[in-house]
């Protein structure tokens, strides 16, 4: 069973009074993360069948990133965002399931904790997917408040503290929940802003808005049924655009748009093994694959007066870069007691030219490596999804395959035979990287009474049921 959960440990008014006002230079931050949305699913990224005027505002009024990387599935990308580290480094290199009893380790230092310590009011709305037990509750990882979804069953029911069960649901992506999530985001922004004005403070906020859309099953809000030229999937993306519009309109109404950095991106590419799926645009394949369509996603950033309007960034950037970038914005210190894979890309946001680029290489540990415009497959890469369903025309590529992404973003032509020295260079870069990576791994978190052995037993039990 799945439940929508409304968690407020105390009122926001009480939370806001706990900290002194920060310097006005610290911006509010809204980070919007969608679920399984492809590179080609927005008007500003080339879609002709889906209208996204609100999201397009972020593009025309801010910066469009063309090489923004995540992991190829839900939980790993969310762990990477929270920690600034490759997901495998945190032990979360696969999807976190409720029956396994694991999640984001309480010893991890999250972006929410760093911002909270730097004077921010922190709130989350939407899909967590980093553990469904009390130890992994977002309010135990730096968030003052959480309104969203946990996965629950008879094992986990009743183990959460300070939770109000609003209603039982069968599908968290059902459009009937969009108004509730949208309003929760609006309420958070309004309450923090109003409290600041009442107290004469300038306390910034961090809102992590994780929409569960457009993950299957696609059940759009009735107002959006038939609204797009791309069927039900497009209807749901336009519903996301409406959610984003509510947040942007609230910033305008409160007069704080210029004080707020808004970031919009997706957790991985589209799920292609279902009829009516989304689009990876010019990129190859989608979710679950380490081809570009699985790990390169749309990303837009707007901060009026700071980020040049209508600008485009073609350099490599990644979701792991958010933590050090947010630290630079908030005067927080990047943790030094562990390896942080992310880099501070604030210079890009401010329109500065950086030579050499801040990030010349993006690695999917042990699988693929991009260095500049070159990409090498270190392991065989398969199309995303299980079984043969939806894989017609989608093929695998063997280890040792080399692509030149600037000339061939669709990864159609292996050029390894023409550039053997480049293959050799990238293989060595991966070997060097993996030595440091494997020497600095951190464990996944376990709920009380669970272990790796018990999780394996749970996996086998679930497969037997299917």
* Short-list 399, 393, 370, CA closest to 292: 370
CB atoms within 10 A of CB 116: 22
How far is residue 123's CA from residue 146's CA, in Å, rounded to a whole number? 6
Residue with the two structure tokens 């090498």: 376
| Burial class for 202, CB neighbours closer than 10 Å (0-12, 13-18, 19+) | middle
Q: List, by residue number, the catalytic residues.
A: 74, 129
Tell me the residue ranges of DSSP E strands in 152-210: 164-169, 205-210
Distance, C-alpha 440 to centroid of its chain = 23
* SS3 call for 145: strand
* Short-list 381, 382, 376, 358, CA closest to 430: 376
* Short-list 66, 124, 61, 68, CA closest to 266: 68
Q: What is the four-CA torsion angle of 77, 78, 79, 80, rounded to 10 degrees?
A: 50
Residue with the two structure tokens 């939980």: 75
Cβ contact 132:98 at 8 Å = yes
Residue with the two structure tokens 């979804």: 149
Cis-peptide, bond into residue 217, ω within 30° of zero:
yes
């Amino acid at each position: 069973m799945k439940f929508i959960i409304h968690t407020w440990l105390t009122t926001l008014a009480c939370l806001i009074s706990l900290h002194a006002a920060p310097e006005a230079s610290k911006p509010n931050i809204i980070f919007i993360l969608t679920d399984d949305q492809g590179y080609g699913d927005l008007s500003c990224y080339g879609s002709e069948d889906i209208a996204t005027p609100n999201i397009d505002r972020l593009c025309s009024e801010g910066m469009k990133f063309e090489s923004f990387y995540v992991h190829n599935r839900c939980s790993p990308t969310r762990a990477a965002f929270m920690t600034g580290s490759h997901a495998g480094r945190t032990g979360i290199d696969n999807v976190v399931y409720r029956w396994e009893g694991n999640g984001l380790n309480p010893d991890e230092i999250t972006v929410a904790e760093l911002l909270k310590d730097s004077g921010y009011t922190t709130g989350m709305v939407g899909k967590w997917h980093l553990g469904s037990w009390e130890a992994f509750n977002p309010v135990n990882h730096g968030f003052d408040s959480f309104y969203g979804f946990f996965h629950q069953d008879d094992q986990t029911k009743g183990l959460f503290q300070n939770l109000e069960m609003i209603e039982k649901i069968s599908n968290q992506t059902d459009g009937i929940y969009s108004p509730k999530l949208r309003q929760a985001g609006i309420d958070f922004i309004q309450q923090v802003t109003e409290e600041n004005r009442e107290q004469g403070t300038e306390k910034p906020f961090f809102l992590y808005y994780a929409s569960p859309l457009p993950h299957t099953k696609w059940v759009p809000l009735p107002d959006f049924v038939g609204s797009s030229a791309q069927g039900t999937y497009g209807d749901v993306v336009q519903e996301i655009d409406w959610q984003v519009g509510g947040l942007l309109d609230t910033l305008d109404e409160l007069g704080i748009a210029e004080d707020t950095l808004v970031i919009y991106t997706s957790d991985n590419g589209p799920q292609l093994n279902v009829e009516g799926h989304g689009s990876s645009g010019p990129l190859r394949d989608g979710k679950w694959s380490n081809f570009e369509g699985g790990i390169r996603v749309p990303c837009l950033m707007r901060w009026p007066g700071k980020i040049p309007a209508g600008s485009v960034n073609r350099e490599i950037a990644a979701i792991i870069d958010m933590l050090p970038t947010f630290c630079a914005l908030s005067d927080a210190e990047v943790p030094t007691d562990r390896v942080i894979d992310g880099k501070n890309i604030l210079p890009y946001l401010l329109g500065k030219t950086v030579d050499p680029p801040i990030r010349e290489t993006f690695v999917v540990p042990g699988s693929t490596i991009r260095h500049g415009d070159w990409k090498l497959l270190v392991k065989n890469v398969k199309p995303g999804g299980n079984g043969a369903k939806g894989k017609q025309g989608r093929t695998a590529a063997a280890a040792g395959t080399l692509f030149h992404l600037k000339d061939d973003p669709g990864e159609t032509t292996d050029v390894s035979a023409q550039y053997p020295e480049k293959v050799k260079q990238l293989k060595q870069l991966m070997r060097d990287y993996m030595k440091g990576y494997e020497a600095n791994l951190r464990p996944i978190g376990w709920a009380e009474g669970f272990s790796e052995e018990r999780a394996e037993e749970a996996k086998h039990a679930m497969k037997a049921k299917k």
